[in-house]
Amino acid sequence: MTKQKDFIIHLARTPDPVEDEAEIENCQDDETEPPKQESKKKNQQILSPTDDINEKWISEHARQVNRMLPGGIHIIGIYMLSTPDLINKNQTKLRQCINLMHKVTERIPMMRNFMAHNNRILLHICASSRKVTCRTMDITDTQMQLSPAEFKYQNFLNKWNSVKCIADVDLRFNIPVTSEKSRFESLIFQGLENQLEEIVKSIPVINGTSVNEDEQLFEPAKAPKGKTKKDESKSLDINFFSCKKCDSEEKFEKQCSRGVIKFIGKSYCQAFLCTKCTKGEAVRALKGDIIRSILSRIELLCEEAEVNNLYQVDDWSLVSPTRVFAKFRNTPLDFCDYFFKDEESKETQGRFSELLSISVAEESLLYHEKFPDTDMTAQMTVESGHSSSNEDPSEQATVEDKDENSNMLVCLIGILVALVSALIALLMST
């Protein structure tokens, strides 16, 4: 993604709303699970053209898909399959969908720094002719004006490269004495903002050498004389070194608080980029993945704590969900999911199918992380009282590391998943 150009690599269909209208309205506040597949057939029979567009439901889908994206891949808009008159009739509601989707996927201002521009896309596919029309909207524009944009089809996915790292995470946050448990998740995000900023400011090193951000990530391969050059996907490890001051923990211990949040361990992170990207772009994409992975785990842990009523007790701990990757069709690209220790692989497969419309075989799941040993403290711990100055280091946890086959509807709504790259293109399965 540059200031003018994006790649659209996947159209993720938004599941049909559940039958319980109350659950639809509360999905944003209660952070419920996505709609269940078993209610799908019944809902398809009662849907009416775009009158049933539910902004909250679409934004909830975007919020959950956002967790499944590695660095360099973002949700950049929504698409609609319908007749032309329906897209014109419902442009106001669709613009509201884009605006709400932006708010839930970039709820932390820091994450907006990893997006190259403010434009989001509304893509319309004509149900009869399959003609595609692309418009963009500046999410900073209060008038929410739509502007035409150019796009073209292109075959490019097999040429993309990746960067990866294993990030050491040690985040701590004092819960203010006056804080309300009902705002627990927001308080954590706000409290960790300065520490997450340290990740943004960390120093990247490649093969023991500091990074020149203007250099190409990989030198273009030269084809032998008389032969055609063959583009292949490449991968590279990047290490990051923190600039945090040595006295930061001492200041942390002196702060008076009602309790403390600790999020400790290792995270496997990766990002995908085009063949012509610079080292600076690769570093920013990988830092974005580190931060998004941390925020996704914290969000899931807060949901788990709420489900188990842990907010009602003073001292509690949870083991963070582990990240698992899966290949995106026959390409070098991966999507990801997070699963808890008591979950099975079929639940991860179900989320790939339900949220991304991608079929994933169990043997194709890639596990780069392991759960911590049972005799070690979990990754996320809440301790009551003042910040402890006698913390036992042994209590710190360590983590080592469908296809689309839906019945045709008059109107189909979904979200656009895009790679950071050099020009607008659309890749669709026929």
Regarding whether 386 and 372 lie in a shared domain, the answer is yes
**How far apart are alpha carbons 343 and 348 in whole angstroms?**
8
For position 219, what pLDDT does the model report? Answer: 79
**What is 15-51 written as a DSSP string?**
PPPPS-HHHHHHHHHHTPPPPPGGGHHHHHHH--TTT
pTM: 0.78
Domain with 107, as residue range(s), is 7-157+405-426
Own/partner contacts of 150-153, CB < 8 Å, gap of 24 or more, are 150/424, 151/8, 151/424, 151/425, 151/426, 152/423, 152/424, 152/425, 152/426, 153/425, 153/426, 153/427, 153/428
* One domain, residues 99 and 45: yes
Average pLDDT for residues 114-128, to the nearest whole number? 89
How does residue 334 score in pLDDT terms, banded at 50, 70 and 90?
very high
Higher pLDDT pick, 409 / 114: 114
276 and 356 housed in the same domain: yes
Whether the CB-CB separation of 290 and 199 falls below 8 Å is answered with: yes
The mean predicted confidence, pLDDT, of the chain is: 76
Highest mean pLDDT among 3-7, 190-194, 406-410: 190-194
312 domain residue, yes or no: yes
**Confidence band, pLDDT 50/70/90 cuts, at residue 179:** low
Between 282 and 250, the more confident residue is 282
Predicted confidence (pLDDT) at residue 353 exceeds the cutoff of 80: yes
Q: 194 and 99: one domain?
A: no
Which of 17-21, 110-114, 420-424 is most confident?
110-114
Average pLDDT over every residue of 155-170: 88
Q: What is the band of 178 on the pLDDT scale with cuts at 50, 70, 90?
A: low
The reported pLDDT for the residue numbered 418 is: 60
Specify if 27 maps to a domain: yes
Q: Is residue 94 part of a domain?
A: yes
Average pLDDT over residues 62-79: 94
In a domain, 228, yes or no: no
334 and 366 Cβ atoms separated by less than 8 Å: yes
Average pLDDT over residues 341-347: 93
2 inside domain = no
Number of domains present in the structure of the chain: 2
Q: Are residues 179 and 244 in the same domain?
A: yes
Q: How far is it, in rounded angstroms, from Cα 290 to Cα 293?
A: 5
